[in-house]
Structure 1
């Protein structure tokens, strides 16, 4: 037990939630798409901004992971809030409906701001809660899922910001709010003192595989990239994230079309689709992050990911048949949101379990690049097939890929010490030293 006096670690959770509430605003993008379509945008254009934001988010996160140790979590968070806020404020000042302007301001600048800050609460949370990695990661990223509900409703049926003040002013209000809340949450983003452990916590002894070999941990990024485990985890995350992100991008557009074909008026269809996204999907998304994280602490990361991706595959395939009925739509949106949220608590923790917790701040961004891949192919596939009138084919394709991801995860096992020797640089270093060492007579 450590006697070092430190702050209450639950302040870290509060700070993480405040930060993620704002970073998760990218999931509220669909609330802006009807107004942008009315301004002359195509469905494809609305999804391109969303996809570029997700891609920038994932790519920049790799850079941020490298800077985390050098700059510290608090400084990185402050920079994140300023960049994210500036992107939305500039989008409002430049007119609010200009495609190139929104592509750059919200897609590139906003996505960059999210990427700079996203890894901080995860890395900091795992350091403060080594005894509850799954649960705390779920709590740390829950705000990302819950945030969409608040920002969607504030712009729409609760705050009526778009109707009352227009897109430009809504973007400005959001930008200022994002900057203020992220900076506030960043005040608690700090690592615990070196050697600190929570009271009563005993670090687990290294596990062994079926042959009795010690499982190796604490891989560097380059070592991790060489393993087959990384490749399987990467593909599974890309498939699962792509399915969820496509569903997010279409959660307003596709159900509106399906409901109107079923006899709902335009206003009724818009209200039902908005509720499906802003309430059922968003709430389930946030709850899923916590629930899947907690369940993975009990059943194991691998089993949880297999169950989550398999369930998501069947839900996404069935969604086109569910979208034309209000109450069944709510059920489908909730299931997809719940499973989608699980990605963000399960993949950081399986990265830590498989490759070590010490370097998770640097290693997880490489895994998270798969989210950028999914963010490109999922929404763009949905938008392209939507313009062709083939929304169901997009859902079916993504659902089948989720099922394939469940199969991939079945084959993921933590690398052994022998595998680490084959992938690392230590063996080469030892050979070079031995070659240069003088021969003793």
Structure 2
């Protein structure tokens, strides 16, 4: 009892520092100005939409490739599909390096347009890849490779559009596009798969990815 009263007395003597403007540094203010300034531009929202559309397609396959594979006798093997997923994870990492190097050499626009175009074409082709384990595994590998490219190129695009100092700060907000893409992809799967099937979803995602390829062309020289 005495110990409890002692702790209560001591707790009253301890005060948190008051929150006021003096606790906010000049750097914090500059960060807020940079981010808020970017959010008010059409360029940022165009880029944000591009990332949502492109990432939605890649994340969609990452979510459903195993479920899709299990609907075919040629692919219905947990060990095989687990192997595809494991190799896909490696492809995701390799994709960040590959697309990052391509971005360094060619800039951001052409590699991103290539990524989204390849992704769109592969979406349309995916239903035809299910008759062979090799072709299905290769197609899934490419999807993971492209997904890694989205994460790799986004910071560089931000730096190019908003400057070397403001770019990383703006990317911290742009990263929300990937969260939205994950939620959007999951919601789409639940809504469309039961009613229309996998092919409809893949065709829809192909269109989404190709729209992203077109949209990036409006961002100017990046």
Contact 1:317 1:400 in 2 (8 A): no
For the aligned residue pairs, the C-alpha RMSD in angstroms reads 2.0
Structure 2 CA distance for aligned equivalents of residues 404 and 231 of structure 1:
15
- Residue matched to 2:81: 273
- TM-score (norm: length of structure 1): 0.41
- Residue matched to 1:375: 182
Matches within 5 A, 1:147-158: none
- Residue matched to 2:207: 400
Displacement of 1:389: 5.8
Q: Are the structure 2 counterparts of residues 245 and 300 from structure 1 closer, same or farther at C-alpha, using a change threshold of 3 Å? A: same
SS of structure 1 residue aligned to 2:211: helix
SS of structure 2 residue aligned to 1:323: coil
Where structure 1 has 5 or more consecutive residues not aligned to the other structure, the ranges are 1-68, 71-218, 416-441
Matched, 1:347 2:161: no
Which structure has more relative contact order (CA 8 Å, sep 6+)? It is 2
Structure 2 CA distance for aligned equivalents of residues 382 and 324 of structure 1:
23
Q: 2:53 aligns with which of 239, 246, 256?
A: 239
Structure 2 CA distance for aligned equivalents of residues 321 and 342 of structure 1:
24
Matched, 1:391 2:194: no
Contact 1:309 1:406 in 2 (8 A): yes
Q: Are the structure 2 counterparts of residues 236 and 312 from structure 1 closer, same or farther at C-alpha, using a change threshold of 3 Å? A: same
Q: Which runs of structure 1 show a deviation greater than 4 angstroms over 4 or more consecutive aligned residues?
A: none
Where structure 2 has 5 or more consecutive residues not aligned to the other structure, the ranges are 1-26
Q: Give per-residue Cα distances to partners, 1:340-390, cap 9 Å, x unaligned.
A: 110011111100111012123321122111112211111221233333360
Q: Give per-residue Cα distances to partners, 1:20-79, cap 9 Å, x unaligned.
A: xxxxxxxxxxxxxxxxxxxxxxxxxxxxxxxxxxxxxxxxxxxxxxxxx77xxxxxxxxx
- Residue matched to 1:229: 43
Pick which of 336-345 and 386-395 moved more. Answer: 386-395
Matched, 1:252 2:60: no
SS of structure 1 residue aligned to 2:70: helix
- Residue matched to 2:92: 285
Q: 2:124 aligns with which of 317, 335, 345?
A: 317
